[in-house]
Amino acid sequence: MSVAAATFAVFAASQIGTPGPANMALLATGARFGFRAALPFVAGVALGKQFVIWPVGFGLMELAARAPWVFEALKWVSAAYILWLAWKVAHLRLGPSDAAATPPGFAAGLIVHPLNPKAWAMIVAGFTGFVSPGTDPVIATATIAAILLATQVVLHPLWTLAGDHIARTLAGTRAEPYLMYTLAGLTVASVLFVLFGGGT
C-alpha cells in the first residue's frame, strides 16, 4: 500500500517535458510576450493542475473502478485531440509580438490544465499505474500532487524561456517550419506514450 514515487517522478518528467497543449501555450506565450511577462501565466498553469489531481484522487478513481470504460474512452478522445493539436502546431508560424496586446495572466493559466486532455490522461495514468491498491487516498493524492507540482515548477518555465528564445532567433527564418514540424512530431510521440506505455 504505497506510491511508487521515484518511478512516477520519471513518468511525470517525461510527460510534462514533452509537447502537449499546456507546453504549446507556454511556448507561444513566451514567444509572443517574452519570458518575464509570461511568468504569471506560468504560475497559473502550474497550480491549475491541482484542480484536476485532487478530484481524481478522491472521487473519480472510484468511478474508474466501477466503469473503467469511461476512462478508456477519455484516453482515446484525449489522444485524438492531441493529434489535432499536433497538426495545428506543425502549421503554426511565429509572428512578431503585437505591442498593444496584453499577455495572459495568472487566472488564464489556471484553466489550462482542467481543459487539457493530456493532463487528465497523465493524472489518471498516475493513479492507476503507480498507486498500490488500498493506499490511503490522502497520501496517494498528496504524493502525486507534490511530484507533479515540483516537476512543473522546473519544466514549465523552461518551455516559456524556449519560446522567448525561439522568437528572438528563429521567427521568420528557414529553420522555423522545421522546428514546428519537430514539435508536432514530439506531440504525436507523447500521444503514443500515453496510449501504449506510460506506466499503465
Could you read off the pLDDT tens digit of each residue along the chain, which spans 200 residues?
588 898 899 889 988 887 777 888 898 888 878 899 999 999 999 999 999 999 888 876 666 667 777 767 766 766 676 677 678 767 766 655 455 568 889 999 998 888 777 788 788 888 877 888 778 888 999 999 999 999 999 999 999 998 888 878 877 788 878 877 877 777 677 667 656 764 43
pLDDT at site 75: 65
C-alpha to C-alpha distances, 160 to 15, 17, 154, 177, nearest whole angstrom: 16, 12, 11, 19
Task: Say whether 3 sits in a helix, a strand or coil.
Answer: strand
Residue 132 cell numbers, joined: 498500490
Beta strands in 59-192 (DSSP E): none
Q: Which residue has 522568437 as its cell numbers?
A: 167
Please report the pLDDT score of residue 101 as a whole number: 67
Q: Which three cell numbers stand for residue 88?
A: 495545428
Contact 130, 199 (CB under 8 A): yes
